[in-house]
A and B are shown apart, each in its own frame.
Chain A
Amino acid sequence: MVTHDPRYARYADRTFHLFDGQVVEEDRSSAEAERKAASALTSSGNRYELFNKEWRAECGSSGEYEESELSLRGLRRRLDAPRNRAFVVLAFFCALLGLMLTGSRVAYLDQLSARADLCVAVFVLALTIGLYAALSGRLVSFIRRKSLVAAYDERAIVFDLGQAARAATGIDQLYKIVVDRLGEALAVDRVALFVAEPVTGNYVRRVIMGSELPPPAVTLARDAFVIKRLRNLSAPFGFGPNDLATWERAFSAAHCVLSEARRRECDALRDLDARLLLQITIKDQLVGFLSLGPRRGGVILRGRQTNANVRGRAARVCDRERKAGRADGADERLTRELALAGGVQQQLFPAAAPQSLFIDAAGFCQPAREVGGDYYDFLRFDHGHVGVAIADVAGKGISAALLMSGLQASLRSIRQFKARRCACRARSRN
């Protein structure tokens, strides 16, 4: 249905709001539509995972890449460094000067004038500077353009990413590797990774490219316009600075709360200098996204060309976090159970010391961890005799606690046979 009246638009499951030839808002009209879409999405499988499987099957035999494929990228990186560039210019200057002032040419120059060699040196210097000024921009951009072709090699990106990710020791380091490697491979200077918070569902920026420090908190709400668009698109979502201006103008007439929310959203995207947002999906849930800035060399990132495999790899990285989250849950459960076990172990110690005319006794045990292998007990025998048992099981933790509880049970059962104290000690020692 195509209509200018939003009341009629609400009859549809999903509404695209157009403004100045762009989709500026996308919303679902009813909970039923949400359920239908969720059901459709959950039954869809993870296409990126499939891509990854295909890639692994294909790459299994061929193994690593030829270094030559990456040589242009290496050359570009080297040329980008100012020191290397200066070295190239100096080498060119020296070579040209050497060429001019050797062999028969130097004899010819001597014939012309005593200062001819100096004039030649100045000429060579001017020529070098002139050539550098004329060619450096074109040459570097040419090499960049050429090297960007290699950067779009999905296999290279995914392979590099996989190799680097194996070295990560923590999830934050893993995120950092993903962002840095993708930025380098796609020749993008501004890359940021947003990850969904499990509780609120909002998307928080976790890491930005080239920064060791945690980035300032930037959050995109779960119902943000770009998030809704990312959920409903299978391809990445690309836009430009003009689009942001259009969105802001479109929302300026909306309700003040919505307008303010959208303005903040546009500001966040503008700060990121975002040009392309790549979904990271796991089982068709949008668990995060990568924000890519403009490419070096002015080449435009196109959504469909941009690496379903790369997104798949990034999704696997995020999946590791989910698993790590589950591991955290398991750790928490274990800690809780250990605390309970510690309480039970305290119950095994005697509640009160025996009353006797000959001895004042008291007992206390403070294990180093939740449970431990330290043990003491008071054993009552016939005729008012009192036995004291003190033990320290070698080791700590659960294994020691288990042995300690077994020892306590053995001692008390032996006492029930009314054995003598020495016999009791002898048996327990054995």
Chain B
Amino acid sequence: MSAQPTTLLHLEDVKKVFYTDEVETHALSGIHMEIRKGEYISIAGPSGCGKSTLLSIIGLLDSPTDGEYTLNSKPVAKLSLSDRARIRNQEIGFIFQAFNLIGDLTVYENVELPLTYRSMASAERRSRVEEALLKVGMAPQTLPVAALRRSTAARGSGARRGGQPLAAPRRRADRQP
């Protein structure tokens, strides 16, 4: 018998409403989405259509107001904050449009940082960091400012275990400052 399709994440009728004192903003109104392992997905749309909100929910940075979200066949709506943080650390890699790098650390240390939270051995951390940096065309010793963007990509790539890193537009990663 053939294997079941490997669904990485499944969103069903996901809604997100932001409440203020007077206004109720429906950022997402019924998202149905299914993404399988290994797929490279893009989410496109005009400003204000809910892309970033959706990305935040997929990346467990935010919770939906309504609907079901299943990640790796596990519903994640009722997870505690620490569980969400653990999944973010181990299963999701982020590449932000803003750098979000820690200025006091070197690029190497920035890439290494999420791995240290996993209590990983030093040797393995080093090999993972070097592999991730080489993947984006950076030798570990070189630290040009222009490569900050790519180092964020390396950090996302080094941190992930299962899925693809979630990313803002990748083209901008190669843009010169």
Residues of A within 8 A of B (CB): 1-6, 8-23, 40-41, 43-45, 47, 229, 232-235, 237-240, 242-243, 284, 302-304
For residue B34, CB closer than 8 A to chain A, the reply is: yes
Are B49 and A18 in contact (CB-based, < 8 A)?
yes
Shortest A258–chain B CB gap in Å is 15
Are A45 and B2 in contact (CB-based, < 8 A)?
yes
Task: Decide yes or no: A44 and B5 within 8 Å by CB, A238-B13, A304-B68 being known contacts.
Answer: yes
B1 contact set on A, CB distance < 8 A: 45
Are A234 and B34 in contact (CB-based, < 8 A)?
yes
Are A4 and B46 in contact (CB-based, < 8 A)?
yes
Task: Decide yes or no: A233 and B168 within 8 Å by CB, A2-B43, A304-B12 being known contacts.
Answer: no
Task: Decide yes or no: A1 and B168 within 8 Å by CB, A12-B41, A19-B49, A21-B50 being known contacts.
Answer: yes
Rounded to whole angstroms, the CA-CA distance of A29 and B74 in the bound complex is 29
Are B2 and A18 in contact (CB-based, < 8 A)?
no
List 20 interface pairs A-B (beta carbons < 8 Å), by A numbering.
Answer: A1-B167, A3-B42, A3-B168, A4-B46, A9-B43, A9-B44, A13-B40, A19-B46, A20-B50, A21-B50, A23-B32, A40-B5, A43-B5, A45-B3, A47-B4, A235-B12, A239-B30, A243-B30, A303-B32, A304-B12
For residue B10, CB closer than 8 A to chain A, the reply is: yes
Shortest A349–chain B CB gap in Å is 56
Residues of B within 8 A of A (CB): 1-5, 7, 10, 12-13, 16, 26-36, 39-47, 49-55, 68, 166-171
CB nearest to A234 among chain B residues? B34
The contact of B43 among A1, A237, A239, by CB within 8 Å, is A1
The contact of B33 among A23, A45, A238, A240, by CB within 8 Å, is A23
Are A6 and B44 in contact (CB-based, < 8 A)?
yes
Task: Decide yes or no: A22 and B10 within 8 Å by CB, A5-B44, A9-B42, A43-B3 being known contacts.
Answer: no
Are A12 and B40 in contact (CB-based, < 8 A)?
yes
Shortest A326–chain B CB gap in Å is 22
Task: Decide yes or no: A22 and B41 within 8 Å by CB, A1-B170, A303-B13 being known contacts.
Answer: no
Task: Decide yes or no: A2 and B29 within 8 Å by CB, A15-B42, A40-B36, A43-B3 being known contacts.
Answer: no
Are A2 and B55 in contact (CB-based, < 8 A)?
yes
